[in-house]
Structure 1
Amino acid sequence: MSDNQPRTIAPDALPEVITRYLTAHRAHDTATAIAAFTREATVIDDGKTYEGTDAIRDWLDRAAGEYTYTVTLTGAEQTDATHYTATNHLEGNFPGGTVDLRYQFTLGDGLVERLVIEP
């Protein structure tokens, strides 16, 4: 995979740290979700950037309480050893009611260094 072109993988082939984060996020388990990130991690979601675990914890807590929704993992891709994308389908009481989001992960030292969430 040296050409940096993503290839489709089975969702269960995602690295354990990504699966752990996605499961915890879906269950609104902030403590387990935050443990998947490096101390200096960055999350970009809805046009906003959250840097460091304190800001990410606040973002996770806010996201858990703002809307009620279900999340279904619908696909996964791997670009290289540190870059993965998980596609999730969300349905809930947020504006629009449904959306497919790409969770683009960059890993470092076995943890999430960067997460970008976008349609």
Structure 2
Amino acid sequence: MRTKDLLLLLFPLCTITIVCCNTTRNQTASSFKKETTITDSKANKVADLNDIKAIFKNNAPYTYNNGFILNKSGETIAYCSNGYILDKNKKTLGYYSNGYILDSNYKTIGNYANGYITLKKNETE
């Protein structure tokens, strides 16, 4: 009988400890995310729409591989990292997410899948 009473007393304490630990961990993660976002926005100047169009000059086949965007000759024309498309100077040109290529105004200008980038025809003219 004493063991059962002891367990009933300890159970609420264990629950409170777990909740407190989880809350602390979540606050730390959200604080880190905010700090990272601020750092990224200061480090990368967002370009206008013409800058991203400049790297995709025509509707030639573009590919992406391990964070590099390549033209049909295999030359690196841009980088992609953590949802950002960056030029060679690490300036933000646009974004990529869920199969879409977006300009700096979050307008869809193309798609990516299976290592290939396909642009809308009117975006490359």
TM-score calculated relative to the size of structure 1: 0.27
More strand by share: 1
More helix by share: 2
Q: Which of the pair has the greater relative contact order for Cα pairs under 8 Å at 6+ separation?
A: 1
Q: Max radius of gyration: which structure?
A: 2
